[in-house]
Amino acid sequence: MALASQNLEQPARYIDLVNKPETLKRKGGIPVADSEFKDIPADGVSIPDDWQVSFGDVLNWSEGRPTEAYFVLEDRTLLKNPDHSGSGYLTIPFRVTSTEIVSLLQH
């Protein structure tokens, strides 16, 4: 996907699947059943095409600090929160922010 084609009109969302699972919806606004996302995914897993998520969104499967949080990438795969410090903080990877910065500079 070309960098300039990213949709910057909608900011990235933080979807808390533990405390507010109803915020994850299918296209058309229908909530995704809990059974479809109850298991924590592996890095690189693809998201179903009908889930209403966008590049840069964060899906969080953890209680408290985002130790089981994943970023939605351009190809609709998941990237685990790269917490290199071990502190449990959300660390936005450069490959997510760099695309938006480049797109903003091109417009």
DSSP 42: P
The arithmetic mean of pLDDT across residues 55-79, rounded, is 91
Q: What percent of the chain has pLDDT over 70?
A: 81
Report if residue 25 sits inside a domain.
Answer: yes
Residue 8 domain-assigned (yes or no): no
Q: What is the pTM of this model?
A: 0.79
3-52 pLDDT per residue, tens: 444 445 578 899 999 999 999 999 999 999 988 888 888 888 999 999 99
Q: Is residue 76 part of a domain?
A: yes
Question: Of all residues in the chain, what percent carry a pLDDT higher than 90?
Answer: 44
Structural domain including 99 reads 13-107
Confidence of residue 82 (pLDDT cuts 50, 70, 90): confident
With respect to residue 1, please indicate whether it lies within any of the assigned structural domains.
no
Which two tokens mark 36?
């479809």
Residue 65 counted as domain residue = yes
7 in a domain, yes or no?
no
